[in-house]
Amino acid sequence: MKEKDRKVQIQNLVTAAMCMAAGIILPFFTGQIPEIGKMLLPMQLPVFLCGLICGWQYGGLVGFILPLLRYALFAVPPMPNGIALAFEQAAYGMICGYLYNRSKWHCIVAVYRSLIAAMLGGRVIWVIARLVLLGLTGNAFTWKIFMAEAFGSALPGIILQLVLIPALMVALNKAGLVHFHKRKKPAETREKGCRAEN
């Protein structure tokens, strides 16, 4: 393994560990109250950031482990909902990281595109997981429950994510910790509406 690749891998591991720690700590700011947690979604913020900064592999792993680790440490989120949440957050980290990494430009527009796609994809995975889990327990999962839990109560958290995560990425870019740039390919045209910032 090249020295540069080893350095990047170590940086990603450290960043992923920091995101994991943030995901454990942030829910304490909601007082560990499930109703507030469902509104603000504090555990999801570091998962999205991990996917954007470190890539889909790290984002997916951090997203999957976080709910299970918090349950092991603090008995929240309750099971079996925590299992569905683990798959949902893994999807957030993987989709967000994969799409951002594959974007022609690494910029604020690419961040938004990746975030929105991941939010939708993660909720689809959550629905599938909930259907399987509720089917095993013999409970029903209705369209009303889906809309209420996936979008209704979570709307403040979705807005917070769409405001805070791009702002953090811009701040990290200005600090030189992440870099907005164009992927290095010959004869590429500039993607509409997307500006590289150095």
- What is the C-alpha separation between 109 and 67, in angstroms, rounded? 29
- Mean pLDDT of all residues in 81-105: 93
Is the pLDDT at 56 greater than 80? The verdict is yes
More confident residue, 146 or 191: 146
More confident residue, 181 or 64: 64
- What is the C-alpha separation between 49 and 178, in angstroms, rounded? 11
State the helix-helix crossing angle for 3-25 and 56-74, rounded to 10 degrees: 40
- What is the C-alpha separation between 76 and 70, in angstroms, rounded? 6
Contacts of residue 81, defined as CB under 8 A and 6 or more positions apart, other chains included, come to 133
pLDDT at 191 (0 to 100):
47
Contacts of residue 38, defined as CB under 8 A and 6 or more positions apart, other chains included, come to 149, 153, 154, 157
Instruction: Return the beta strands (E) in the chain as ranges.
Output: 105-106, 181-182
pLDDT band at 142 (very low <50, low <70, confident <90, very high): low
pLDDT at 183 (0 to 100):
60
Q: Which residue has the tokens 């925590």?
A: 82
pLDDT at 185 (0 to 100):
53
